[in-house]
Amino acid sequence: MMAETTARPVRAQGGEPVLQCRDLNVHFQTGEGRISAVNGVSFDLHRGQCLGIVGESGSGKSQTFLAILGLLASNGHATGSVVLNGEEILNTSRRKLNAIRGEKMAIVFQDSITGLTPHKRIGEQLCEVLTQHRGMSRSEARSRALEMLELVRIPEPARRFRMYPHEFSGGMRQRVMIAQALLCQPDVLIADEPTTALDVTVQAQILKLFKGLADHTDTALVMITHDLGVVAGLCDEVMVMYAGRAIEQASVDSLFYDPRHPYTRGLLACMPRADRDSESLTAIPGQPPDLSELPPGCAYAPRCPQAFDRCLTERPSLDLAVEGHLKACHLENAP
């Protein structure tokens, strides 16, 4: 007998979650119809926790967190509930969201250049955050900003303070973005594919930096990535998304050693591994469904090698498979 647990946290931890998301839905109105980009996503995030979000391109990873931050495009609309430190923040006023984004939640994107103002010196940009959001004096702001640049391992921070964004390499710019995101010591740091644009060596350095932050600060980290290797190295919990839905949620160990959803198994089979040559690497055959016409059953059924009749007609809910491990799949009840 499986318990209905759609609104359950992934793992019960002590204390209130810093961020609690319940039944989040995101729709976009377009000329071609209504796109259901995020469909009933729920999770809890605790202090010091690192939550990985994985799934193919278009599965709703970014829109989930853009909705939480109040940053959806103007044709988008979010419903559900997002509680930050006990306070409902979904669709709250612009003023409140601005304050939240400066102080309580920060996001780092893949493309660091768009997050920085090109004609302003790095130091000026960092200090502004502190003088505006924290009311610090210029000299206080300067010493805190320098401290942050040191924390993200930028060599010679005092000299770099006077430089412009284009004078930095991609990896260094990404470090500046992370420093900027951390300036106000946010409760939640969201990293959306933060290393995708960087070469492999720099990627490893930046991921090490995140690992250090996750281990040594109270900030809860959300790591959005295509790369299950990143999740394995960094995260405690993971949510796998498909067609805007969470289809599996578990601790990283449980997900890697005991995956319950055929889609997750497919993703794991596509992971590069030292003991496999790269030629045996395959993508999961087929395409995700059209988000303006989601099928009535499981959205993965048309691609699933184990699908049976019920999968095409009835959408599986996210249920408890084993303690702390949720999956949305009918398979255990297959005929």
Residues that bind Mg ion (CB under 5 A): 62
For position 75 contacting ligand ATP by CB under 6 A, the verdict is yes
Q: Residue 85 or 292: which CB sits closer to ligand ATP?
A: 292
For position 73 contacting ligand ATP by CB under 6 A, the verdict is yes
d(CA 44, CA 199): 32
For position 61 contacting ligand ATP by CB under 6 A, the verdict is yes
Answer whether 130's CB lies under 8 Å from 140's CB: yes
Among ligand ATP, Mg ion, none, the one that 37 touches (CB under a kind-dependent 5 to 8 A) is ligand ATP
Query: Segment near ligand ATP (CB under 6 A), from 61-69, 211-219, 298-306, 327-335?
Result: 61-69
Instruction: Tell me which residue has tokens 């390499």.
Output: 169
From residue 90, alpha-carbon distances to 6, 52, 105, 220 in Å are: 19, 21, 13, 19
For position 31 contacting ligand ATP by CB under 6 A, the verdict is no
Among ligand ATP, Mg ion, none, the one that 109 touches (CB under a kind-dependent 5 to 8 A) is none
In angstroms, give the least distance from the CB of 113 to ligand ATP: 17
Binding positions for ligand ATP, 190-249, rule CB under 6 A: 226
Q: Residue 62 or 112: which CB sits closer to Mg ion?
A: 62
In angstroms, give the least distance from the CB of 52 to ligand ATP: 13
Q: Residue 44 or 193: which CB sits closer to Mg ion?
A: 193
A 10 A CB-CB count for 10 gives 25
Which value, in Å, is the radius of gyration of the alpha carbons in the chain? 21
Q: Residue 283 or 334: which CB sits closer to ligand ATP?
A: 283
For ligand ATP, which residue of 14, 57, 139, 282 counts as binding (CB under 6 A)? 57
A 10 A CB-CB count for 184 gives 18
Q: Residue 58 or 302: which CB sits closer to ligand ATP?
A: 58
- The H or E element containing residue 94 is helix 94-103
CA 62, 149, 104, 71 dihedral sign is: negative
What are 321's two structure tokens? 């498979």
For position 292 contacting ligand ATP by CB under 6 A, the verdict is no
For position 30 contacting ligand ATP by CB under 6 A, the verdict is yes
Q: How far does CA 303 lie from the centroid of its chain?
A: 25
d(CA 20, CA 4): 18
For position 291 contacting ligand ATP by CB under 6 A, the verdict is yes
Answer whether 146's CB lies under 8 Å from 161's CB: yes
